[in-house]
Amino acid sequence: MSQPLQDNICEDKLYERFYKKHAKNLHDFLYYKFGEHLNPQDKVQEAFIKLWQNCAKVTPNKAKSFLFTTANNLMLNAVAHQKVVLKHRKIPVKHSTNETPEFLMQEKEYHQKLQKAISNLTEAQRIAFLLNRVEGKRFKEIAELLDISTKAVEKRIYGALKKLRKDIDGL
């Protein structure tokens, strides 16, 4: 059961005539509407490719509408993409830092010393210290969490600080 030739635009000669008739008009339409910077000739070609890919679904009397709508949408997508590109160009990219390689190396070494010193604390000191310094909890909150007195929390944290200073060479 074959379809009549006029039910779609897939027939080569019909498609070729259609291309010759509308390619320049489509280019001019896109050029006048969006300008040259988005390369309207490429969008014309892409629109004709989409028409060819969907030729079985498009009748000759709807082909021009399909073509112009597709090309217009391609250009609008390109405009939207350009806006995203411009937005990201505005974000300053940090290419360099003020830190010297020597400073970065010292910072890494200090961080390693600190981690090692924290791991050398007793469990009670480490928990109280980290709750206070990392999570920002007050002595009273830590005492309630650990079910101990505030003085015990103070003793653990101060003991931890004293041991950390000693282990990290007085820094």
pLDDT in tens, 123-164: 899 889 989 988 889 999 999 988 999 999 999 999 999 998
In terms of C-beta density within 10 A (0-12 exposed, 13-18 middle, 19 or more buried), how is residue 74 classed? buried
DSSP of 21-35 = HHHHHHHHHHHHHH-
Give exposure, 111-129, as e/b (b: 16+ Cβ within 10 Å): eeeeeebbeebeebbebbb
Q: What is the rounded CA–CA span in Å between residue 80 and residue 82?
A: 5
As a whole number of angstroms, the distance between CA 77 and CA 61 comes to: 26
Q: Is the pLDDT of residue 119 over 50?
A: yes
Structural domains in the chain (count): 2
Provide the sign of the torsion angle of the four alpha carbons 159, 160, 165, 169, taken in this order. positive
Which residue range(s) make up the domain with 76? 5-90
Q: Is residue 95 part of a domain?
A: no
The pLDDT value recorded for residue 96 is: 67
Residue where a domain stops, chosen among 59, 90, 121: 90
* Measured distance CA(152)–CA(142) in Å, rounded: 10
Instruction: Give the model confidence (pLDDT) of 28-77 as tens digits.
Output: 888 888 878 888 999 999 999 999 999 888 888 889 999 999 999 999 99
Q: Is 22 exposed, middle or buried (0-12, 13-18, 19+ CB in 10 A)?
A: buried
pTM exceeding 0.85: no
Pair 83, 109 in one domain = no
Categorize the per-residue pLDDT at 1 as very low, low, confident or very high, splitting at 50, 70 and 90: very low
Find the CATH number of the domain harbouring 135: 1.10.10.10
* Poorest-pLDDT segment among 4-8, 97-101, 131-135: 4-8
Question: Which of 139, 100, 134, 98 is closest to 114 using CA atoms?
Answer: 134
